[in-house]
Amino acid sequence: SQKIEQNSEALNIQEGKTATLTCNYTNYSPAYLQWYRQDPGRGPVFLLLIRENEKEKRKERLKVTFDTTLKQSLFHITASQPADSATYLCALGESSGDKLTFGTGTRLAVRP
């Protein structure tokens, strides 16, 4: 089965800097990879999806890369703000309509 690794240690950065979070997987490359944001006491909120044939995807201050050779996705938040503080989860999907496999998430703290 697929194993997903996200840094369990919290990432603390200064406001205005770029936050970079890592998601590594161990087995076969998924059809697509997603990133979610989860705030305490709330369900995850979808942010970005990147497919296996895409190397990079952007949305406003967010950027996701997907390297199937390294079996890794990087999630970047540029010009970070304290409001970006949350836990970020990556999730792998094998095909459309199939279940997602989630990582444990990395907590991001942006200090003013």
Partner 1 sequence: SAVISQKPSRDICQRGTSLTIQCQVDSQVTMMFWYRQQPGQSLTLIATANQGSEATYESGFVIDKFPISRPNLTFSTLTVSNMSPEDSSIYLCSVESLAVNEQFFGPGTRLTVL
Q: Does 3 bind partner 1 (CB under 8 A)?
A: no
Please, which residue, 26 or 104, has the CB nearer to partner 1? 104
The one segment of 20-28, 57-65, 71-79, 94-102 that binds partner 1 by CB under 8 A? 94-102
Measured in degrees and rounded to the nearest 5, phi and psi for residue 84 equal: -80, -10
- Closest separation in Å from C-beta 79 to partner 1: 25
Q: Tell me which amino acid residue 74 is.
A: L
Place of tokens 């950027």: 63
Q: Tell me which amino acid residue 76 is.
A: H
Please, which residue, 8 or 81, has the CB nearer to partner 1? 8
8 A C-beta contact, residue 71 and residue 55:
no
